[in-house]
Structure 1
Amino acid sequence: MLHLRLITPADVTEEAVRLIERTPGTTHLAVLPGAARNPAGDVVLCDVAREAGDELLSGLQTLGIHERGSIAVENIDLSLSKRADKAEEEAPGEAADAVLWEHLTDATHEESTLSVTYVAFITLATMIAACGVVLDNAILIVGAMAVGPEFGPLAGICTALVRRAPRLALRAVTALLAGFAIAMLMTVVFSLFMDWVGLFTEAQLEGDRPNTGFIYAPDWFSFVVAVLAGAAGTLSLTSAKAGALVGVAISVTTVPAAANAAVALSYGDTAQTLGSTEQLLLNLLGIVLAGTLTLLAQKLFWNRQRERTAAKSRL
């Protein structure tokens, strides 16, 4: 269930209340006339089943409440109410399948920001991966994959393509490309320093690396895994099952490929640099392609779900 807290202008309150009342899956409606001070207006509270949330939010935005008042949404972890149980039964579909498009857009917008924290995380992840490729240590590679924040901008690109949001797309692409560029540049410097102190050697990079050699040797399996991971990651975001993102992060060779390219570049190994860069681009393409198609499929599914629900209500 979701909890909605609205601040509505007095002239819109009745329309908002009627919209809430006729939306299947809503309950616990309360209206507090004149309770809001900044901005001034009425306070409207209600709970709604997650699977009906997107339709209700779209309707409330059509009334302009988000422009003249506010719409706040919170997840309800526990609701002991028979009326809430009935509301979830009345709502179409399943909660786990529902997509809150405004929430997804807002979340990916935040995760796609080229901030100091984002750059720090992707740089540290790339440096950890650099240690992993030189030492041929799979544990370090997995750790670097888990630390890397690059799925946020990738999800932002997918969301922007489906919702036709050019500003979000530009923001996400900028964060992705600039983030990797800065991380790889810093990793080149890091690699040169580690070589200077004797902790990295060219022999280690060029030697037999059974655990990490795949990073600079892309093949179709790399693309297939990236596609599967992109679909899984997108589903984890839209269904609020964030735990699956960890599995997604350690399934794709993005940060390790960037790290291997940076270390190889510091030693002038063109073959490994190009191979690793190809691996990186292949994974990024697979994730974006799969994520976009997954969101389009979910959008189509819920549009048909709404049409069936509307048809039933007219009977």
Structure 2
Amino acid sequence: MRHIQVTIPTGKRQAVLELLDEEGIDYVVTDESSSREYDAVVSFPLPTNAVEPVLDSLQEVGIEEESYTVVVDAETVASRQFDELQEEYATESVEEEQISRQELVTQAEELTPTFSVFFTMTLISAVVATVGLLLDSPAVVVGSMVIAPLIGPALSASIGTVVNDRDVFLTGMRYQFTGVAGGIIAAAIVAWLVQSMLLVPPGLEITEIDEVSERIAPELLLLPVALGAGAAGVLSLATGFSIAIVGVMIAAALVPPMAAAGIAIAWGLPIAALGSTVLVLVNLLGVNLSGLVTLWYLGYRPGSWFEISTAQRQFVKQIGIFVVVIALLSLFLTGITYTSYQVSAFEETATQESEAVLAEYDDATLLEVDVEVREDGAPIGTSLDATQQIDVVIIEVGGPPGVYDAELIERLETAINEHTTDDVAVQVRFVTIGENYSSH
């Protein structure tokens, strides 16, 4: 429920009150004596989803944008006439809980801090995420998402499009892209300092850190996370659901990949940095795309009818740009996803071949098969054959001391390379079960 206060311009009192009577709205009128421009102030309660149509109707009868209109929450309204009004606007859909277009724009502005505050908080979030990734600490990474102020600009850009407010749209996009660029640079600087000051072990391979590895070789399956975050953000804003929780979800799609890109730059891995940066851009555009579509689906439009066609053209244009750019960037992620699938399939094949060879040796047991992909050279996903990107296949075999056999090693190498186009290095490590570890 909402409580509305509107200043009535001189000469418009009768038209405004007749409109409220026609709508069946309880109201209280107070004479205004502080200004010659306004004749009175009218106050009345409304169901939440009735605010926008009633304010639009008031504008049509003479309430200009220069008039003061205040919309506040109302906890309780005791009135039989209001109950009837509430039943009139009651629906079984999300529309019953939707806030007005005017409130939506105000909410987005409140969620968007000044640029200096936004940029500073985004840098801090990126720095915390960088430390969390290097520590392989999910808790610290989640903490970085909580302080990231990304939801406001992300939703502002979509809102600006549907209500035909170009300034709101451009401000939202400028905040987002500047924040992402600054976050990546800050993460790179912090990661380089951590490496230079030996705060991590020398020669640390970031691909061995789970929190980092899953973000420097991103897959297309991560795109639905961004799409869901954008849609949930708009729904939470439009219906008054906990916006802070959804803000963490949007940050989850953007902050960790930003930090991963910075870490990859500091470690001198340009291909990994490119993968993380592409993921950030795809997620950012995905959030904006789903937010824009959800707002349009919920029925938000400009206040003036002659602006609707302009907003519709802008909506179609923005959707087209987002879809095309996401599709182009997703080609890179698709390549990575396909390569990951091929590597997993090859690892399964290597395991089966190793088990088949070792089945002929009574004392030999397959302990583990690990396939490692090259970290440098051609970008992951650019080759149609994933075996061309495999660096080494490590086969761990357990058994008594006498299990070591040069013929066994040769047979394993042959069996593995029957499934590759180029010769792949095969390392066979023998583990003496029950005694000291030995490898060959």
Q: Same fold (TM over 0.5)?
A: yes
For 1:56, which of 34, 40, 54 is the aligned residue? 54
Show the counterpart of 1:131: 131
Cα distance in 2 between the residues matched to 1:31 and 1:224 = 51
Q: Is the 8 A contact 1:217 1:279 kept in 2?
A: no
- After TM superposition, the structure 1 = structure 2 runs for residues 22-41 of structure 1, keeping only pairs within 5 Å, are 22-23=22-23, 26-27=25-26, 29-37=27-35, 40-41=38-39
d(CA) in 2 for partners of 1:164, 1:194 = 46
Aligned-partner residue type, residue 29 of structure 2? V
Q: 1:220/1:167 Cα in 2 relative to 1: closer, same or farther (>3 Å)?
A: same
- Offset, 1:257: 0.8
Secondary structure, aligned partner of 2:299: helix
Q: What CA distance in whole angstroms lies between the structure 2 residues aligned with 1:171 and 1:5?
A: 30
1:229 has 2:238 as partner: no
Amino acid at match of 2:46: V
In structure 2, distance between residues paired with 1:263 and 1:96 = 46
Give unpaired runs (5+ residues) of structure 2.
Answer: 302-440
User: How far 1:68 moved relative to its partner?
Assistant: 3.9
The one-character-per-residue Cα deviations of 1:231-283 (angstroms, maximum 9, x if unpaired) are 11110000011x15414523642011111112222232212211111111121
- Cα gap change, 1:289/1:298 in structure 2, threshold over 3 Å: closer, same or farther? same
What does the per-residue CA deviation read over 1:36-86, in whole Å, with 9 as the maximum and x for residues that have no partner? 549643111111111111101222233453444211100112334444333
Q: Measured at CA, do residues 263 and 41 of structure 1 come closer, stay the same or move farther in structure 2, by a change above 3 Å?
A: farther
Q: Taking structure 1 as reference, are residues 10 and 77 closer, same or farther at Cα in structure 2, changes over 3 Å only? A: same
3-state SS of 1:287 partner = helix
Q: Percent identity?
A: 23
Tell me the secondary structure at the aligned position of residue 31 of structure 2: strand
Which has a greater percent of helix? 1
* Residue correspondence of structure 1 range 68-107 to structure 2 within 5 A: 68-93=66-91, 96-107=96-107
Q: What secondary structure, in the 3-state scheme, does the structure 1 residue paired with 2:91 have?
A: coil
Alignment match, 2:177? 177
Q: Which has the larger radius of gyration?
A: 2
Contact 2:89 2:96 in 1 (8 A): no
What is the TM-score with the length of structure 2 in the denominator? 0.62
Task: Work out the number of aligned pairs and report it.
Answer: 298
> What amino acid does structure 1 have at the position aligned with 2:248?
A
Is the 1:253–1:280 contact (alpha carbons within 8 Å) kept by the matching residues of 2? yes
Contact 2:29–2:40 at 8 Å: present in 1 too? yes
Alignment partners' CA distance in 1, 2:132 and 2:280: 16
1:194 maps to amino acid:
V
Stretch moving more, 170-179 or 39-48: 39-48
In the alignment, the residues of structure 2 paired with residue 108 and residue 38 of structure 1 have an alpha-carbon distance, to the nearest angstrom, of 34
CA distance in 1, matches of 2:271, 2:246: 30
Q: Secondary structure at the match of 2:39?
A: strand
**Is the 1:3–1:76 contact (alpha carbons within 8 Å) kept by the matching residues of 2?**
yes
Letter in 1 for 2:245: V
The superposition leaves residues 108-166 of structure 1 with CA deviations (integer Å, 9 ceiling, x where unpaired) of 23434552221122111111110111111111111112221112111111112222221
Q: Is 1:246 matched with 2:251?
A: no
Query: Comparing both chains, which one has the higher relative contact order based on Cα–Cα distances under 8 Å and sequence gaps of 6 or more?
Result: 1
RMSD over equivalenced CA pairs, Å: 2.5
Q: 1:204 to 1:14 in 2, by over 3 A?
A: farther
- Normalised by the length of structure 1, the TM-score is 0.85
Q: d(CA) in 2 for partners of 1:152 and 1:135?
A: 29
Specify the alignment match of 2:297 in structure 1.
Answer: 297
In the alignment, the residues of structure 2 paired with residue 113 and residue 83 of structure 1 have an alpha-carbon distance, to the nearest angstrom, of 40
Secondary structure of 1:3's match? strand
Give the secondary-structure state (helix, strand or coil) at the position aligned to 1:65. coil
Indicate if the aligned counterparts of 1:134 and 1:204 stay in contact, CA closer than 8 A.
no
Could you tell me which residue of structure 2 aligns to residue 308 of structure 1?
none
CA 248–40 in structure 1, closer or farther in 2 if over 3 Å, else same? closer
Work out whether residues 229 and 249 of structure 2, in 8 Å CA contact, stay in contact via their aligned partners in 1.
no
**What does residue 307 of structure 1 align with?**
none
